[in-house]
């Protein structure tokens, strides 16, 4: 199957696109526009969401300070503080077969570290993308390129993995938030 490029709001049934799919790699990439001042540090995170699109605890946020879910089904591959180079800047590996049944959705987000202090926003970031890759053969299943202006936001929900019966689907979201990781965490039930 050829990779499907999604637009905002589009989705793909991953289970049907790659029968037998169990392991995926979610790659998040970006290029920072050349500007004077402090370097950008973008951070990928995954929020494990239960009924009502809420987390149960801070352990349900997988990011640079919590690299692995309690059950080991989701593993963040580490913090890239520069975004330099081609391809994925940060990756999150997910074993779909081990994700607990009560986790209904996994929100995939990118935030700008210390954005308010550094006076940075996503309007200064170019080529923000999220892609889903089959972990078995490294074939790209889908990709979403964020192309809209986000000059006032410091956090972005790039996409969501969600259950539809026994299938897993990916939805391209592209929703921005002011307030960075804290605002997103609050919206998902963390205080």
Give the CATH number of the domain where residue 45 resides.
2.60.60.30
- Write down how long the chain is: 191
pLDDT at 147: 64
**Domain limits at 66?**
4-187
How many structural domains is the chain composed of?
Answer: 1
Cα–Cα distance measured from residue 175 to residue 153, given in angstroms and rounded to the nearest whole number? 9
Contact 74, 27 (CB under 8 A): no
Nearest CA among 19, 37, 26 for reference residue 110: 26
Cα–Cα distance measured from residue 131 to residue 146, given in angstroms and rounded to the nearest whole number? 11
Position of tokens 């995939």?
A: 108
Task: Give the per-residue SS3 of the chain.
Answer: CCCEEECCCCEEEHHHHCCCCCEEEEEEEEEECCCCCCCCCEEEEEEEEEHHHECCCHHHEEECCECECCCCCEEECCCCCCCCCCCCCEEEEEEHHHCCCCCCEEEEEEEECCHHHHCCCHHHEEEEEEEEEECCCCCEEEEEEECCCCCCCCEEEEEEEEEECCEEEEEEEEEEECCHHHHHHHHCCCC
Mean per-residue pLDDT over the chain, rounded: 86
The pLDDT tens digits for 59-78 are 999 998 899 999 999 999 97
pLDDT at 86: 61
pLDDT over 90 (residue 5): no
The pLDDT tens digits for 112-151 are 888 888 888 888 877 778 899 999 999 999 998 876 666 7
pLDDT at 127: 77
């Amino acid at each position: 199957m050829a990779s499907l490029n999604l637009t905002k709001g589009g989705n793909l049934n991953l289970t049907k696109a790659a029968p037998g799919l169990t392991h995926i790699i979610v790659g998040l990439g970006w290029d920072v526009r050349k500007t004077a001042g402090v370097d950008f540090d973008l951070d990928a995170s995954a929020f494990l969401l239960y009924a009502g699109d809420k987390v149960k605890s801070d352990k349900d946020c997988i990011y640079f300070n919590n690299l692995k879910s309690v059950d080991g089904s989701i593993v963040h591959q580490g913090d890239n503080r520069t975004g330099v180079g081609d391809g994925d800047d940060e990756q999150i590996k997910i074993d779909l077969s081990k994700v607990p049944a009560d986790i209904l959705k996994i929100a995939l987000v990118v935030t700008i570290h210390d954005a308010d202090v550094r006076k940075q926003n996503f309007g200064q970031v170019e080529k923000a993308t999220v892609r889903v890759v089959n972990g078995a053969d490294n074939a790209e299943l889908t990709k979403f390129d964020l192309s809209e202006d986000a000059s006032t936001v410091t956090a972005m929900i790039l996409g969501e993995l969600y259950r539809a019966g026994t299938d897993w689907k990916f939805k391209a979201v592209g929703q921005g938030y002011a307030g960075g990781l804290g605002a997103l965490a609050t919206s998902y039930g963390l205080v």
